[in-house]
């Protein structure tokens, strides 16, 4: 019974860390973006640049995660990331200076990488070591829950508090979440054996497989960042949907929270690549629905499809990293996220320029959908490569 309680506490620490480091430190910016544009004088282009700078921080964090193998150091960085998440959120509410905002968004990006990559790697290592299923679906539900929490919080706070006060109230909430996220994750075990005495052995994929997967993941990064960064502003600009952006963002989070677990179940039955391909195609539809028709129904269906696939894809790819590298999952996680992160750096600035030129974000959504379609084609190619490599392996055995 004590083992199950410990497992519950470890998984809860992971979920709460993602609510703080991804949900609050990263995604609170999305529902607060239009409010900051109205009240703090933040321009459309500057809003895009702040998102780009945030992902630059995330990319730097991904590089750090890919270079570090020492679990003790990773544990320290995870805990530093929790503190930085709270401080960077507070900083956003204490100034209206663009350059200081840029610094705090960069720090929030570093914190997000600590939660998504280093924290996930620590959780995965603990699960494998204790002979529990290594899927991270439960852990990654924290991203969706964080989105829901921020969307609801901003919707409830907006009538009573200005943009600055909302950032500070989210800081207070994050400070409370930090306590169990810190306390419930035990120090890492550096042994290469599981608790039952089984040796954990890495079984990496071929270089060609990994390279193709990274390019496909880059495409997914474009689809992810365009929608999650600008969705509230996009919806609020559509005729008849003014003021519905925050609710749309909440629906994305509600769809994301349970579906990471469901995609894990789907992958166990049909395979990781089939699950990724299915999620990618559904995400294209979800991205396009708000601009194909501006009805609230289509917008909400699109939000469900997007939220129901975006975190699932991340969970599937990072779970694959744990399968290939059980002793050091964060190394492949970091490499994959470098690809994902480059897309997240380039895309917001481009979308900001397009939106400033055209007065809306429609071209950005079309770009995101096109990149997701390309990623789907690459996943089909990856399935063929996997079949060929498996046949070659069978013939040599």
Question: How far apart are alpha carbons 158 and 172 in whole angstroms?
Answer: 16
The tokens describing 249, both together, are 């963002």
Question: How far apart are alpha carbons 23 and 147 in whole angstroms?
Answer: 5
- Cα dihedral 339, 343, 346, 352, rounded to 10, equals -160
Give Cα 393 distance to the centre of its chain.
34
Task: Please give the model's pTM, rounded to 2 decimal places.
Answer: 0.80
Report how far apart, in Å, the C-alpha atoms of 74 and of each of 195, 225, 337 are: 21, 26, 16
pLDDT recorded at residue 1: 46
User: What is the length of the chain?
Assistant: 397
The one-digit pLDDT tens for each residue of the chain (397 residues) are 477 788 889 999 999 999 999 999 998 998 898 899 999 988 888 887 898 899 889 888 888 887 887 888 999 999 999 999 999 999 999 999 999 999 999 999 999 989 988 898 888 888 877 777 655 778 888 888 898 898 889 989 999 999 999 999 999 999 999 999 999 998 887 665 555 556 666 677 788 888 888 899 898 888 877 776 677 777 777 777 777 777 887 888 888 888 888 888 888 888 888 999 999 999 998 888 877 766 778 888 888 888 889 888 888 887 787 777 776 666 677 778 778 777 877 777 777 777 777 766 777 778 888 889 999 999 999 888 888 877 776 666 5
* Residues forming beta bridges with residue 199, ordered by sequence position: 193
- Cα dihedral 387, 331, 174, 190, rounded to 10, equals 120
Question: How far apart are alpha carbons 217 and 272 in whole angstroms?
Answer: 14
Q: Buried (b) or exposed (e) across 239-274, using 16+ Cβ within 10 A?
A: eebeebbbbbbbbbbbbbbbbbbebbebbeeeebbe
Domain ranges of the chain: 2-187+204-396
Question: How far apart are alpha carbons 396 and 107 in whole angstroms?
Answer: 49
Question: Are residues 311 and 279 in contact, defined by beta-carbon separation less than 8 angstroms?
Answer: no
Q: What is the residue whose two structure tokens read 């349970």? A: 258
* Residues forming beta bridges with residue 193, ordered by sequence position: 199
pLDDT recorded at residue 191: 63
Task: Check residue 351 and give left, alpha or beta (phi > 0: left; psi -120 to 50: alpha).
Answer: alpha
Report how far apart, in Å, the C-alpha atoms of 246 and of each of 163, 303, 326 are: 14, 11, 39
- What is 2-187+204-396's CATH number, 3.40.50.10240, 1.20.120.140, 1.20.140.10, 1.20.1250.20? 1.20.1250.20
pLDDT recorded at residue 255: 85
């Amino acid at each position: 019974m004590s083992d199950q309680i410990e497992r519950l506490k470890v998984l809860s620490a992971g979920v709460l860390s993602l609510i703080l480091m991804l949900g609050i430190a990263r995604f609170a910016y999305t529902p607060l973006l239009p409010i900051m544009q109205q009240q703090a004088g933040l321009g459309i282009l500057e809003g895009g640049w702040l998102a780009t700078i945030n992902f630059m921080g995330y990319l730097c964090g991904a590089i750090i995660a890919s270079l570090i193998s020492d679990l003790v150091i990773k544990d320290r960085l995870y805990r530093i990331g929790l503190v930085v998440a709270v401080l960077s959120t507070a900083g956003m509410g204490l100034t209206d200076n663009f350059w200081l905002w840029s610094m705090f968004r960069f720090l929030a990006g570093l914190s997000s990488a600590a939660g998504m990559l280093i924290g996930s790697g620590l959780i995965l290592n603990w699960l494998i070591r204790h002979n529990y299923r290594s899927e991270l679906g439960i852990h990654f539900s924290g991203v969706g829950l964080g989105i829901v929490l921020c969307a609801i919080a901003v919707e409830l706070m907006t009538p009573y508090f200005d943009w600055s006060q909302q950032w500070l109230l989210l800081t207070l909430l994050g400070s409370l979440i930090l306590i169990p996220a810190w306390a419930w994750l035990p120090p890492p075990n550096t042994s290469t054996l599981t608790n039952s005495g089984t040796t954990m052995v890495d079984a990496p994929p071929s270089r060609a497989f990994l390279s193709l997967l990274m390019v496909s993941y880059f495409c997914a990064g474009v689809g992810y960042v365009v929608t999650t960064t600008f969705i509230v502003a996009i919806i609020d600009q559509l005729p008849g949907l003014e003021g519905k952006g925050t609710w749309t963002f909440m629906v994305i989070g509600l769809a994301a929270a349970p579906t990471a677990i469901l995609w894990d179940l789907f992958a166990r039955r049909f395979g990781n690549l089939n699950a990724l391909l299915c999620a990618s195609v559904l995400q294209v539809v979800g991205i396009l629905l708000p601009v194909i028709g501006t009805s609230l129904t289509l917008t909400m269906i699109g939000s469900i499809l997007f939220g129901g696939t975006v975190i699932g894809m991340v969970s599937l790819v990072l779970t694959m990293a744990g399968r290939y590298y059980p002793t050091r999952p964060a190394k492949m996680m970091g490499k994959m996220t470098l690809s994902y992160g480059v897309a997240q750096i380039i895309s917001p600035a481009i979308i900001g320029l397009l939106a400033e030129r055209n007065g809306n974000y429609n071209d950005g959504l079309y770009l995101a959908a096109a990149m997701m379609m390309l990623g789907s084609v690459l996943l089909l190619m990856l399935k063929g490569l996997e079949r060929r490599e498996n046949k070659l392996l069978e013939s040599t055995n």
